[in-house]
Chain A
Amino acid sequence: MIDRKMWLVLGLALVASGPAFAQGTPAERFITVSSTTSTTDSGLFTHLLPLFKAKTGIEVRVVSQGTGQALDTGRRGDADVVFVHARAQELKFVEEGFGVERKPVMYNDFVLIGPKADPAGIKGGKDIVTALKAVQAKGSLFISRGDKSGTHSAELNLWKAAEIDIEKVKGPWYREIGQGMGAALNMASAQNGYVLSDRATWLNFRNRGDLDIVVEGDRRLFNQYGVMLVNPAKHSHVKKAEGQAFIDWLVSPEGQKAISDYKIGGASLFFPNATQPGA
């Protein structure tokens, strides 16, 4: 015996949810780009992607992760294009055959953020190495991303430049949180610590509390972004034409202008340099 009412209810539920199944994949063209949290959190993609789509009709789906994770996503073939900022890792990615060719796109810069009270006494300095040495010497609270992101590896390089073996000297003052830029800034804001941030994310960050920029302008703080097509020879499903179209647009004069046009409070966040040799 079958209870008619029950089947009726089940049938109605199925009918009602029909559209949910049907909507799964829109028919339009799209590519998946794995990128860093800084490009998304800064709002850059919100500015760029509609322009690109208007021109080409290609929808860009951005998965934002730390640079290391974003490269891994490309390695597994879960993205068509990788757009990150860690030059050495990018070159290795291409060398291993996962990426076709690395193209420089733009740079932004890192800034050292810290509490206005400035316990390490470094505010206003132009030399990041001196500043980090002071932070370490005074044991002032420092928040590290600790997530193998581009920012994290830049931070590690700066410790190295300051001739500090952070693995050896790190103590309770040095906190590796294993999270994104925003989370690190939130924690620095809550605990009044120093933190290395990309300028774009900082400018977009609302929950500043007592934080401010303490060191900026050092050439060693420049942060280069590169873009790569995931190698179709490794992953045959990679959307080569669409992905290449996105890369070509980013480095074209039009794309480069769009990047420099993105401003917050009148200030550019990213500086296009696709034509700069060796970037």
Chain B
Amino acid sequence: MDALGAMQAAIRLMVTFDPQFLQIVGLSLRVTLTAVLVAAIIGLPLGAWLALARFPGRTALIVVINGLMGLPPVVAGLVVFLFLSRSGPLGPLGLLFTPTAMIIAQTILVLPIVIALTRGTLEELWQEYREHLTSLGLTGWRAVPTLLWDGRFALATGLLAGFGRASAEVGAVLIVGGNIANYTRTMTTTIALETSKGDLPLALGLGLVLMALTLAINAAGYAASRIGTRFAG
């Protein structure tokens, strides 16, 4: 096994548009993007609520959510697995070993990041905007659209961080997806599989593709924050 072989494998995968490879990349993106989107739909309002509401136990809740940002993917996967298994509470849905199960697991991984980041961003903005928005009658829920829009660059960076976490993880999707060929096989589970088959050049080649993807996403995140700084001051 050598680095050259890995590079060759990576380039061959990309330039030949190998249908199976494209299917794997497509599934990875579909699962992760959907998970990030669902996490955003749930997490943005929850984060906003946490930023603006005051209630007993709020600090504890914030600490728990910050802690969940470091939730090991395997644990998230195991919990989802136990719920979705035919012998689990959601068994009748028959979702285990499907892309939907992987989306659920990754949503759980991304959600704390989205909530925590939204909370932090909006709380800071609210500190700054409070008097002006109150003056305009925009308090409570009525302040949220303004705060979300004005925090858009920071929030975009956070969603990209969530995307990075979800696209890089293997533990959760392996457990709940089952790594079924042509169905729930993602880039990371393929890398794990090819490694176990000893096809290290292919595994590393896929790894390079994944890294290129991650790099592109981080570049986008950096660009977003740069534009944000330029625009928002």
Contact = CB atoms under 8 A, between A and B. Distances in A.
Question: Which of B33, B87, B198, B201 gathers the greatest number of chain A CB atoms within 10 Å?
Answer: B198
Interface in B163-179: 178-179
Contact of A182 (B34, B94, B138, B195): B195
6 contacts: A23-B99, A46-B181, A62-B180, A182-B195, A237-B86, A237-B92
B166 to A, nearest CB: 14
A67 interface: no
A237 B197 contact: no
Interface string B187-218: 00000010111111100000000000000000
B12 interface: no
A24 B93 CA distance: 13
A185 interface: yes
Nearest to B88: A76
Nearest to A65: B178
Nearest to A179: B196
A76 B200 contact: no
Size category, B interface: 35 or more
Interface of B: 1, 30, 33-34, 37, 40, 85-88, 91-92, 94, 96-100, 138, 142, 145-146, 148-149, 152, 178-181, 183-184, 193, 195-201
A192 interface: no
A3 interface: yes
Interface of A: 1-3, 5-6, 13-14, 17, 20-21, 23-25, 32, 37, 40-41, 45-46, 59, 61-64, 75-78, 179-183, 185-186, 189, 201, 204-208, 235, 237
A1 B200 contact: no
Nearest to A61: B180
A182 B196 contact: yes
B195 to A, nearest CB: 7
Contacts of B30: 20, 23
A183 B196 contact: yes
Contact of B200 (A40, A78, A207): A207
A235 B92 CA distance: 10
A76 B86 contact: yes
A41 to B, nearest CB: 5
